[in-house]
């Protein structure tokens, strides 16, 4: 296999891959009004790709486009070198597309419905690499009876029975358009309109006929075409760019009758007609036909994708406003639930302080102050144990059991209340009236953006709110557990621990010093000896020791309380972020993200199409 053949296959494979991506892009499109229109455009484009595949090895299809009496049929006769088509200068002689080709070529091979054309088979040298189509005039409205194909009860040209309908039915199957005009009819608005629609996906060549009768108006025609060297702007319309051209010099001045006479008398083509014939039979036909078809198809694909992009980008701001509305409502809900959670936690801070104190005592280890912490935390249990030790009768035992059961139940209830405070705050934060209001607001944005409104119904948002609340509770519980563990680590560091241990040890040291001095020195060695301390000393020493322990406990618990309040305030600030309500409006957000992915994939496909167009143009050069 030669290198050009391999390059041809590789390029064709890339075109097929692009068509596959377009199909997948259209199939995965969101339920969105602009996407529906883009999907319809892509379906028609894919149909053109199938037609390209059918015509891959077929000759180049060249059609004429022009007003009444400009000499389209005469020009085709000159190209054929024989009088095959009827000609006329006043009334239109072509009312149906006439297809002129070799005997071995059929309309089906070109992707054309045989019922819409008149078929002429000729075995002429000019038809070796060409198929010529004589098109009806777009500036007349003559009609003919409907065409009924064999074996059908009713039918006709699918596009209609007027000249314009038949013209529009055949132009999408043509590779090259010969835009034919005269000195009098080179500014036809109707021809310009049809060329604007048909030139996408076709090569365009301009021809001024009647060179024997008219002046050369090509410079004025070029100016009217708005040529800038790279594109063709069709006159008579809105000066929109419609088709790239190979060369702005592809505008010829020919005398069709003289050219036909030269062919019939076996003379070589002369003048600009020879250049036109060379362009069609050598530079565009043969192996170049496939490149032209691919280039035409890529041009059509680029134009289709540009049209899709315009539709999407016109509607994209409404989708972005919908996303902003979702974020705004989420932020409002997050601030509401954060405030509720903060209030709930501060209301039940004693239970959380007890949990924090328990973790701090467990991390403290075995030391005098840790014993004070454990005694303080288990004071109720110690009192209950003391009462149990003092019970003597079954009645006293029953009374103690009832009291202890009540105390245990209350403790369990307080703990459960603290643990479920986050659940209650989250559940009560999603106020039904507030949710309905949010649903109405978001639904308005969804309707304006043209998105699927099933995701913004009140029942869907209520279900999402329940899921979002559960997710927030899980997050809040994890944050609180992490908060308690972090505060316990912070308040049980070595510096904090030794500070409290030293202050408690100082009090214990003073008491033990007084007892030791009284017992060993004052009562034995001093003169005169002093009596040993009695119960009064132990009671007063115990009082001051307990008071000192309570003071240290108060300082330590105040430190814990301040830290807990500050940490809860920080958590509340974090919970105000819209991400705290991620599950809310999830369906609407998903539709918006689908639109964004749809747009990004379109841009990626457009980039690949532009790259292939440059590759094809380079190959053609």
Q: Give the helix/strand (H/E) hosting 127.
A: none
Query: Of the segments 32-46, 306-320, 410-424, 452-466, which one has the largest average pLDDT value?
Result: 306-320
pLDDT confidence band for 154 (50 / 70 / 90): very low
Q: What whole-number distance in Å separates Cα of residue 143 and Cα of residue 136?
A: 11
Nearest 10 degrees: Cα torsion 65, 66, 68, 70: -110
Query: Of the segments 233-237, 259-263, 368-372, 556-560, which one has the largest average pLDDT value?
Result: 259-263
Res 604: pLDDT: 92
Sign of CA dihedral 141, 142, 145, 148: negative
b (16+ CB within 10 A) / e for 411-420: eeeeeeebee
Q: How much is the mean pLDDT over the chain?
A: 76
Is a pLDDT exceeding 60 seen at residue 381?
A: no
Res 301: pLDDT: 85
pTM of the model: 0.56
pLDDT confidence band for 380 (50 / 70 / 90): very low
- The larger pLDDT score, comparing residue 226 to residue 478, is at 478
Res 183: pLDDT: 76
Sign of CA dihedral 370, 372, 373, 377: positive
Q: Where are the domains of the chain?
A: 60-285
Query: Of the segments 147-161, 422-436, 500-514, which one has the largest average pLDDT value?
Result: 500-514
Nearest residue to 72 (alpha-carbon basis) of 130, 164, 134, 139: 134
Q: What percentage of the chain reaches a pLDDT higher than 90?
A: 9
> What value does the mean pLDDT take over residues 77-105?
80
Res 294: pLDDT: 73
> What value does the mean pLDDT take over residues 214-229?
71
Res 535: pLDDT: 87
Q: What percentage of the chain reaches a pLDDT higher than 70?
A: 73
Res 157: pLDDT: 38
Going by their DSSP bridges, the two strands 251-253 and 118-121 should be labelled as unpaired
Is a pLDDT exceeding 70 seen at residue 235?
A: no
pLDDT tens-place string over residues 258-281: 888 888 888 888 888 888 888 888
- The larger pLDDT score, comparing residue 344 to residue 2, is at 344
Check if the beta carbon of residue 334 is closer than 8 Å to that of residue 577.
Answer: yes
Query: Of the segments 234-238, 524-528, 603-607, which one has the largest average pLDDT value?
Result: 603-607
Paired with 121 in beta bridges are 101
Nearest residue to 209 (alpha-carbon basis) of 94, 68, 61, 81: 68
Res 479: pLDDT: 79
Res 600: pLDDT: 92
Is a pLDDT exceeding 70 seen at residue 620?
A: no
Give Cα separations from 620 to 285, 510, 528 (angstroms).
12, 104, 127
Q: Give the helix/strand (H/E) hosting 590.
A: helix 586-620
Res 595: pLDDT: 92
Does the domain at 60-285 match CATH 3.40.50.300? Answer given as yes
- The larger pLDDT score, comparing residue 179 to residue 9, is at 179
DSSP 300-348: HHHHHHHHHHHHHHHHHHHHHHHHHHHHHHHHHHHHHHHHHHHHHHHHT
The answer for residues whose C-beta is within 8 angstroms of residue 428's C-beta and 6 or more apart is 340
**Interior angle at CA 593, CA 590 and CA 599, nearest 5:** 145
**DSSP at 356:** H
Lowest mean pLDDT among 370-384, 442-456, 529-543: 370-384
pLDDT confidence band for 551 (50 / 70 / 90): very high
pLDDT confidence band for 390 (50 / 70 / 90): low
pLDDT tens-place string over residues 174-212: 888 898 888 777 776 667 767 766 666 678 888 988 887
Is a pLDDT exceeding 50 seen at residue 548?
A: yes
- The larger pLDDT score, comparing residue 421 to residue 588, is at 588
pLDDT tens-place string over residues 43-73: 888 877 766 666 666 788 899 988 888 888 8
Check if the beta carbon of residue 54 is closer than 8 Å to that of residue 111.
Answer: yes
Whether omega for the bond prior to residue 428 falls within 30 degrees of 0, making it cis, is no
pLDDT confidence band for 431 (50 / 70 / 90): low
> What value does the mean pLDDT take over residues 537-550?
90
Res 336: pLDDT: 77
Q: What whole-number distance in Å separates Cα of residue 171 and Cα of residue 609?
A: 23
Is a pLDDT exceeding 90 seen at residue 599?
A: yes
User: Phi and psi at residue 266, in whole multiples of 5°?
Assistant: 65, 30
Q: What whole-number distance in Å separates Cα of residue 482 and Cα of residue 109?
A: 74
**Interior angle at CA 95, CA 92 and CA 98, nearest 5:** 115
Res 148: pLDDT: 41
Res 99: pLDDT: 92
Is a pLDDT exceeding 90 seen at residue 33?
A: no
> What value does the mean pLDDT take over residues 415-427?
52
Lowest mean pLDDT among 28-32, 350-354, 485-489: 350-354
Q: What whole-number distance in Å separates Cα of residue 255 and Cα of residue 205?
A: 16
pLDDT tens-place string over residues 92-111: 556 678 999 989 888 888 87
pLDDT tens-place string over residues 484-529: 778 777 777 777 778 888 998 999 999 899 888 888 888 888 888 8
Lowest mean pLDDT among 214-223, 225-234, 418-427: 225-234
Res 287: pLDDT: 59
Residue 575, token pair as written in the block? 């919970």
pLDDT confidence band for 155 (50 / 70 / 90): very low
What is the 3-state secondary structure of 537-565?
HHHHHHHHHHHHHHHHHHHHHHHHHHHHH
């Amino acid at each position: 296999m030669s290198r050009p053949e391999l390059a041809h296959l590789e390029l064709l494979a890339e075109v097929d891959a692009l068509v596959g991506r377009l199909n997948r892009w259209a199939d995965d499109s969101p339920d969105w009004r602009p996407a529906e229109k883009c999907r319809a455009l892509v379906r028609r484009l894919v149909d053109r790709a199938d037609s390209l595949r059918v015509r891959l090895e077929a000759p180049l299809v060249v059609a004429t486009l022009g007003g009444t009496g400009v000499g389209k049929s005469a020009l085709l006769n000159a190209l054929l070198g024989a009088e095959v088509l009827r000609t006329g200068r006043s009334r239109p002689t072509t009312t149906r597309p006439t297809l002129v080709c070799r005997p071995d070529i059929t309309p089906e091979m070109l992707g054309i419905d045989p019922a819409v054309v008149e078929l002429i088979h000729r075995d002429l040298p000019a038809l070796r690499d060409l198929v010529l189509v004589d098109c009806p005039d777009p500036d007349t409205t003559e009609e003919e009876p409907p065409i009924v194909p064999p074996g059908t009860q009713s039918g006709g040209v699918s596009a209609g029975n007027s000249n314009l309908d038949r013209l529009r039915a055949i132009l999408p199957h043509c590779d090259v358009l010969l835009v034919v005009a005269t000195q009098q009819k080179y500014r036809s608005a109707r021809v310009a309109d049809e060329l604007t629609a048909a030139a996408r996906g076709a090569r365009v060549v301009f021809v001024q006929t009647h060179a024997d009768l008219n002046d050369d108006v090509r410079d004025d025609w070029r100016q009217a075409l708005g040529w800038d060297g790279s594109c063709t702007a069709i006159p008579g319309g809105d000066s929109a760019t419609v088709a790239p051209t190979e060369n702005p010099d592809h505008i010829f001045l020919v005398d069709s009758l003289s050219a036909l006479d030269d062919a019939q008398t076996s003379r070589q083509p002369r003048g600009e007609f020879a250049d036109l014939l060379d362009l069609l039979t050598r530079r565009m036909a043969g192996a170049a036909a496939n490149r032209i078809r691919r280039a035409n198809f890529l041009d059509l694909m680029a134009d289709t994708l540009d049209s899709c992009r315009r539709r999407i980008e016109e509607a994209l701001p409404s989708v972005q406003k919908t996303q902003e509305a979702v974020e705004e409502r989420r932020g409002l809900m997050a601030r509401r639930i954060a405030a509720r959670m903060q209030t709930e936690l501060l209301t039940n801070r004693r239970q959380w302080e007890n949990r924090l104190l328990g973790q701090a005592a467990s991390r403290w280890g075995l030391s005098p102050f840790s014993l004070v912490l454990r005694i303080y935390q288990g004071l109720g249990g110690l009192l209950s144990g003391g009462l149990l030790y003092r019970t003597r009768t079954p009645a006293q035992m029953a009374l103690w059991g009832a009291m202890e059961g009540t105390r245990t139940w209350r403790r369990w209830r307080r703990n459960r209340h603290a643990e479920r405070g986050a659940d209650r705050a989250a559940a009560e934060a999603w106020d039904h009236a507030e949710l309905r209001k949010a649903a109405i607001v978001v639904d308005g944005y969804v309707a304006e953006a043209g998105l699927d409104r099933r995701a913004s119904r009140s029942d869907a948002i209520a279900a999402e709110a329940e899921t979002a609340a559960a997710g927030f509770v899980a997050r809040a519980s994890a944050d609180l557990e992490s908060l308690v563990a972090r505060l316990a680590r912070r308040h049980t560091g070595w510096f904090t621990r030794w500070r409290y241990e030293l202050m408690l040890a100082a009090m214990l040291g003073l008491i033990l010093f007084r007892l030791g001095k009284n017992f060993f020195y004052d009562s034995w060695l001093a003169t005169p000896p002093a009596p040993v301390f009695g119960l009064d000393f132990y009671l007063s020493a115990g009082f001051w020791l307990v008071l000192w322990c309570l003071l240290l406990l108060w300082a330590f618990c105040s430190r814990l309380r301040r830290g807990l309040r500050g940490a809860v305030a920080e958590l509340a600030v974090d919970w105000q972020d819209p991400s705290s309500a991620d599950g809310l409006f999830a369906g609407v957000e998903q539709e918006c993200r689908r639109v964004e992915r749809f747009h990004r994939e379109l841009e990626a496909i457009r980039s690949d199409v532009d790259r292939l167009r440059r590759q094809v143009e380079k190959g053609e050069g």
